[in-house]
Amino acid sequence: MASSRFYKETFEKIAPEKQDIIFTTAISVFAERGFDAANINEIAKLAGISIGSMYSYFDSKEDLFLALVEKGLELLDRAMSECCPDQGTITDVLERLFRVAIRYTEKHPDMCRLYLLITTDNMKVQTERLSDQAEMSFRSMYKTVLKRAVERGEVREDIDLDMAALYIDNAVVMLQLALTSRYYHLKMKHYLGDEADGDRERLVRANVDFICRGLGVTLASGCGADDFKE
Amino acid sequence: MASSRFYKETFEKIAPEKQDIIFTTAISVFAERGFDAANINEIAKLAGISIGSMYSYFDSKEDLFLALVEKGLELLDRAMSECCPDQGTITDVLERLFRVAIRYTEKHPDMCRLYLLITTDNMKVQTERLSDQAEMSFRSMYKTVLKRAVERGEVREDIDLDMAALYIDNAVVMLQLALTSRYYHLKMKHYLGDEADGDRERLVRANVDFICRGLGVTLASGCGADDFKE
Amino acid sequence: MASSRFYKETFEKIAPEKQDIIFTTAISVFAERGFDAANINEIAKLAGISIGSMYSYFDSKEDLFLALVEKGLELLDRAMSECCPDQGTITDVLERLFRVAIRYTEKHPDMCRLYLLITTDNMKVQTERLSDQAEMSFRSMYKTVLKRAVERGEVREDIDLDMAALYIDNAVVMLQLALTSRYYHLKMKHYLGDEADGDRERLVRANVDFICRGLGVTLASGCGADDFKE
Amino acid sequence: MASSRFYKETFEKIAPEKQDIIFTTAISVFAERGFDAANINEIAKLAGISIGSMYSYFDSKEDLFLALVEKGLELLDRAMSECCPDQGTITDVLERLFRVAIRYTEKHPDMCRLYLLITTDNMKVQTERLSDQAEMSFRSMYKTVLKRAVERGEVREDIDLDMAALYIDNAVVMLQLALTSRYYHLKMKHYLGDEADGDRERLVRANVDFICRGLGVTLASGCGADDFKE
DNA sequence: AATGAATGAGGATTCATTCAT
DNA sequence: CATGAATGAATCCTCATTCAT
């Protein structure tokens, strides 16, 4: 684990399993209660360590939180690399993107809830800086992919690239929200019906379909409406 | 003001202006700090009433919060009625929808932040029930509009209506987030460039364009790609 | 009670007896334990109020302490006015000065211990400013008295007035220390013998005698060595 | 270093330089913060040893403190021996006494601050016993000197010897306070003027002058008023 | 009805001390 | 012996809620 502003040296020295327990516990409590309602003494107890130790690892409740966020963004970054934005048509890339997003969200649901917490605005400025970096890599990935698609003639030429990139990001965010937040999950169920819940394939296809149409992806690229109609 | 589960009779009896002050103040504080970090004593002081009165109007901090949400949903409902889902083509309706969404968000930014708070999952179950109603009206509106558009031949027939409705909702939500949350606002600025900030028209057009393409709206309906390319 | 930086308005509103109880209790605990070891929760309990109330009267432990010091300096100021620096010879004034000092110290021993705490250097700068004022009045009183005594010919002319004033102050401080601090009290007993303990008259006389000699007060002024020899 | 109640055998075994570092560091922290606010873990870190070692040298925070005081008193004792109470007139002895006091205070300012802390009364009884010894040697020195001076006819015969001894001690203490405590230092500057700050000679002379006058030292002994007037 | 003083449980953080390595 | 991680009691302070006036 690389050095960080948010945890102290002592934390680096303890067993990785213990680090994991602390992170997992803390993430779960923060995700459930929110930053303010979360009780750091309770986190320590649940993680099986003393508060004294907690404070020997992290300078404050806020630092603990930031360390978690940082960790989550690291994981996100790693996950994102599986998108292979250089391989295949834009349709292929988008498909991989949504699959990766779903996998990450289902693997780290609490982490995603934390992310939601951050975007809720009540978090400190410091959190912004942290996620800025991750946002930047996503942004540049989206724009690169789109630019290449335009060059290859996969996408209509008159497209507003910036807007399109934002759109892709929005779709990813909304998908994550639906899998993360109780609220958005219920909403999705209400829209798609209870029986559709869990049908990740439908979500992937619909998203890819919708975005491809929006981008004016030519049928030749293998993303015709017919492939996705239900 | 109609009777509610969330405020007491005494609240109905006070001057509407006072009610307004209390609501506005509370919304602003909750929006800024979040539910847990908000201080009800401070809200009372800022609103110019005693905490004693506060508690004679609302049974608890939570009830105050719920009353605010309820009020916000009322306003939202009223705003939504301006969409006139029965008039004009689907393109017209969508355009009005986004304009209304923008207007509402800019008029009640703090209320929208509250809404964000709710969706963050850390709120009590009771909030869910509240917003359920509003969600339902939106959902049925979207579906009705889409069904009519299919019947009129404005939209391709093979469309997944439920998914399409969810897509429209997502677009509205993301737009609201961009105008509400510091985080999503910054993100939007990063994608579109600083100078684009405030260009509501671009947002409306891009959204309508993207969704219409996704829906396969025929050019005849007046929403061809050409109208929106930039 | 006049307004102060150190307590809140709420404190002014409560019954003076309650104010007194709080002050007396707090002074006693601070005097016994020192600032850091004193427990504000315990003070509240001993004073018969809740910590909540304590914090509605004073913003912090430090403010409580400063309020006490401020109060003590007020009392000191009032006591000092009994010295009547304008009446009688310098010998008379000095005699009154030591009597007043003894009376004040015996009436407010804990307050004097607090004063000791302040001079111990570990207190915040703010305390300094507070006592500065009191120190200034003493200083100017001493210098005025001395100047007048020189003009009247009661005191030798070649005297270093500033140093003499400091000497008088030192004598007062040491006397207070002896009556306040367990340490200096024991020391005094060791020097003067146990049986001398409580003989305030001896202290007054010896101090006046020593200082008058130092000042070179002429016999005519009624302070000859003979009057004080034992 | 002789055995002591306050440190353990292990402490005697380590290098004297290390002992010194520990003592110096601890004294400085205690002097700055006071006993309660001082952090023994921080002292250990600053001294470059582990807390584990700290506790293998000293049984408790209190013992560490007491060991420091003990050490300081040893140094004081050594310094005092330079007064040579047997050589010269009482005036000579007093002059040496004040010079030694000033030198000691300026050499070990933090130690003097510790001494101040002790006299503040909040220290444990054990500290008293410690300093008792030092106090006793001072007391007996003062009394011996005075007795000899009376025998030699340097001092008026009707003097209250005990009181005179106490007076001398008081003068020494006040001088030390003025050089040690921020509070008393400021006070002195206010009395004597800023430019006088640092004029040790004036302090020595004024003290000797004042005390000699109080003792009724005959001019013949070389301590007439003329010598000291300014 | 209105007021706001009073309450005290709760929670973040510190630090003297222990003990396994 | 030395180390420094671990412990958890202790403490300052906040704030939702009550209730006497």
Distance of alpha carbon C117 from alpha carbon C131, whole angstroms: 12
What crossing angle do the helices spanning A125-152 and A161-180 adopt, rounded to 10°? 120
Confidence of residue D3 (pLDDT cuts 50, 70, 90): low
Distance of alpha carbon C116 from alpha carbon C114, whole angstroms: 5
SS3 A152: helix
Determine contact, residues D34/C34, Cβ cutoff 8 Å.
Answer: yes
Determine contact, residues D157/D200, Cβ cutoff 8 Å.
Answer: no
**Model pLDDT, residue D166:** 94
Nearest Cα neighbor of B111 from B70, B142, B64, B54 is B70
Residues across chain C: 230
Residue with tokens 């340490």: C183
Distance of alpha carbon C190 from alpha carbon A41, whole angstroms: 53
Distance of alpha carbon C201 from alpha carbon C22, whole angstroms: 34
**Over 90: is that where the pLDDT of B134 sits?**
no
Distance of alpha carbon A77 from alpha carbon A134, whole angstroms: 7
CA–C1' distance C61–F21 (Å)? Answer: 30
B141-159 burial: b if 16+ Cβ within 10 Å, else e: bbbebbebbbeeebbbeeb
A48 membership: H or E segment, kind and range: none
Is residue C181's beta carbon less than 7 angstroms from any atom in nucleic acid strand E?
no
**Over 80: is that where the pLDDT of A43 sits?**
yes
Nearest Cα neighbor of C163 from D189, D91, D97 is D189
B224: chain A residues, CB-CB within 8 Å: none
Is residue D157 classed exposed, middle or buried when 0-12, 13-18 and 19+ CB atoms within 10 A define those classes?
A: exposed
Distance of alpha carbon C30 from alpha carbon C37, whole angstroms: 8
* D-interface mutation test, from C94, C181, C183, most D Cβ less than 10 A away: C183
**Model pLDDT, residue A195:** 85
D100-114 burial: b if 16+ Cβ within 10 Å, else e: bbbebbeebbbbbbb
| A202 in reach of chain B (CB within 8 A) | yes
Residue with tokens 């921080």: D42
C191: chain D residues, CB-CB within 8 Å: 139, 162-163, 165-166, 169
pLDDT digits (tens, 9 = 90+) for D21-61: 999 999 999 999 999 999 999 999 999 999 999 999 999 99
Number of neighbouring beta carbons within 10 Å of residue A111: 25
pLDDT (mean) for B54-60: 97
Determine contact, residues D174/C225, Cβ cutoff 8 Å.
Answer: no
Determine contact, residues A21/A48, Cβ cutoff 8 Å.
Answer: yes
Q: In angstroms, what separates the C-alpha of A198 from chain B's closest C-alpha?
A: 14
**Model pLDDT, residue C222:** 43
- Stretch 49-108 of chain B: residues touching chain A, C-beta under 8 Å: none
**In chain C, where the domains are located:** 9-220
**Model pLDDT, residue A116:** 86
Confidence of residue B122 (pLDDT cuts 50, 70, 90): low
Terminal CA-CA length for chain D: 46
Q: What is the DSSP string of chain D?
A: ----SSS-HHHHHS-HHHHHHHHHHHHHHHHHH-TTT--HHHHHHHHTS-HHHHHHH-SSHHHHHHHHHHHHHHHHHHHHGGG-TTSS-HHHHHHHHHHHHHHHHHH-HHHHHHHHHHHTTTS-HHHHHHHHHHHHHHHHHHHHHHHHHHHHTSS-TT--HHHHHHHHHHHHHHHHHHHH-HHHHHHHHHHH-GGGTT-HHHHHHHHHHHHHHHHT--GGGT--HHHH--
Distance of alpha carbon C71 from alpha carbon C91, whole angstroms: 30
| D18 in reach of chain C (CB within 8 A) | no
Is residue A40's beta carbon less than 7 angstroms from any atom in nucleic acid strand E?
yes
pLDDT (mean) for A181-198: 90
Q: Give every CB contact of residue C164 below 8 A, 6+ residues apart in sequence.
A: C142, C146, C214, C215
Number of neighbouring beta carbons within 10 Å of residue D68: 23
Chains B and C touch (3+ CB pairs under 8 A): no
| D183 in reach of chain C (CB within 8 A) | yes
Is residue D52's beta carbon less than 7 angstroms from any atom in nucleic acid strand E?
yes
Determine contact, residues A117/A177, Cβ cutoff 8 Å.
Answer: no
C49 membership: H or E segment, kind and range: none
Residue with tokens 């009777």: B3
pLDDT digits (tens, 9 = 90+) for B8-20: 999 999 999 999 9
pTM of the model: 0.89
By Cβ distance, the residue of D116, D162, D177 closest to C193 is: D162
Q: How far is CA D183 from each of CA B142, C136, D187, D228, rounded to the nearest angstrom? A: 77, 13, 6, 27
**CB-to-strand E under 7 Å, chain B 37-96:** 41, 49-53, 55-57
Q: Closest nucleotide to B53's CA, by C1' atom?
A: E2
Distance of alpha carbon B144 from alpha carbon A216, whole angstroms: 26
By Cβ distance, the residue of B122, B135, B183 closest to A119 is: B183
Report CB contact under 8 Å: D174, C173.
yes
Determine contact, residues A206/A228, Cβ cutoff 8 Å.
Answer: yes
Instruction: Write phi, then psi, for D216 (nearest 5 degrees).
Output: 70, 35
Task: Fill in the amino acid letter for C93.
Answer: V
By Cβ distance, the residue of B128, B213, B230 closest to A160 is: B230
Q: How far is CA B12 from each of CA A156, B5, B28, B41, C69, rounded to the nearest angstrom? A: 58, 12, 21, 21, 50
**CB-to-strand E under 7 Å, chain A 116-135:** none
Q: Give every CB contact of residue A207 below 8 A, 6+ residues apart in sequence.
A: A94, A98, A171, A175
Distance of alpha carbon C110 from alpha carbon C180, whole angstroms: 8
Percentage of chain A beyond pLDDT 90 is 72
Distance of alpha carbon D112 from alpha carbon D105, whole angstroms: 6
Tens digits of pLDDT across chain C (230 residues): 446 789 999 999 999 999 999 999 999 999 999 999 999 999 999 999 999 999 999 999 999 999 999 999 999 989 988 899 999 999 999 999 999 999 999 999 999 998 888 887 667 778 888 888 889 999 999 999 999 999 999 998 888 899 999 999 999 999 999 999 888 999 999 999 988 888 999 999 999 999 999 898 875 444 444 444 43
Confidence of residue D219 (pLDDT cuts 50, 70, 90): low
pLDDT (mean) for B142-163: 91
Residue with tokens 């400190």: A124
**Over 80: is that where the pLDDT of A207 sits?**
yes
Which tokens is B204 given? 């409306």
pLDDT digits (tens, 9 = 90+) for A56-75: 999 999 999 999 999 999 99
Confidence of residue B117 (pLDDT cuts 50, 70, 90): confident
Report CB contact under 8 Å: C183, D131.
yes
pLDDT (mean) for D129-147: 90
Q: What is the DSSP string of chain B?
A: ----SSS-HHHHHS-HHHHHHHHHHHHHHHHHH-TTT--HHHHHHHHTS-HHHHHHH-SSHHHHHHHHHHHHHHHHHHHHGGG-TTSS-HHHHHHHHHHHHHHHHHH-HHHHHHHHHHHTTTS-HHHHHHHHHHHHHHHHHHHHHHHHHHHHTSS-TT--HHHHHHHHHHHHHHHHHHHH-HHHHHHHHHHH-GGGTT-HHHHHHHHHHHHHHHHT--GGGT--HHHH--
Q: In angstroms, what separates the C-alpha of B63 from chain A's closest C-alpha?
A: 17
**Over 50: is that where the pLDDT of D225 sits?**
no
Is residue D39's beta carbon less than 7 angstroms from any atom in nucleic acid strand E?
yes
Which tokens is A218 given? 């030519």
Determine contact, residues A146/A86, Cβ cutoff 8 Å.
Answer: no
pLDDT (mean) for A172-192: 92
Angle, vertex CA C19, rays to CA C14 and CA C23, nearest 5: 155
Mark the nucleotides of strand F covered by protein, meaning any atom under 7 Å from a CB: 1-20
Confidence of residue B221 (pLDDT cuts 50, 70, 90): very low
Report CB contact under 8 Å: D169, C186.
no
Distance of alpha carbon C112 from alpha carbon C128, whole angstroms: 15
Distance of alpha carbon B196 from alpha carbon D106, whole angstroms: 68
Q: Closest nucleotide to B33's CA, by C1' atom?
A: F15
pLDDT digits (tens, 9 = 90+) for A124-133: 778 888 888 8
Distance of alpha carbon D17 from alpha carbon D35, whole angstroms: 24
What class does CATH assign to A9-220?
mainly alpha
Which tokens is D24 given? 């110096």
Report CB contact under 8 Å: B34, A120.
yes
By Cβ distance, the residue of D34, D36, D216 closest to C225 is: D216
Rg, C-alpha atoms of chain A: 20
Is residue A39's beta carbon less than 7 angstroms from any atom in nucleic acid strand E?
yes
By Cβ distance, the residue of D119, D121, D190 closest to C139 is: D190
Residue with tokens 């498909």: A95
Q: In angstroms, what separates the C-alpha of A213 from chain B's closest C-alpha?
A: 5
Please report all neighbours of D, defined by 3+ CB atom pairs within 8 A.
C
Number of neighbouring beta carbons within 10 Å of residue C216: 15
| B137 in reach of chain A (CB within 8 A) | no
Report CB contact under 8 Å: A122, B32.
yes
D170: chain C residues, CB-CB within 8 Å: 170-171, 174
CA–C1' distance B10–E3 (Å)? Answer: 15
Report CB contact under 8 Å: B162, A191.
yes
User: How many beta-carbon contacts under 8 Å exist across C and D?
Assistant: 150
Distance of alpha carbon B227 from alpha carbon B205, whole angstroms: 9
Closest residue to E20 (CA, C1′): D52
Report CB contact under 8 Å: B36, A32.
no
Which tokens is B20 given? 């307004």
**Over 60: is that where the pLDDT of A230 sits?**
no
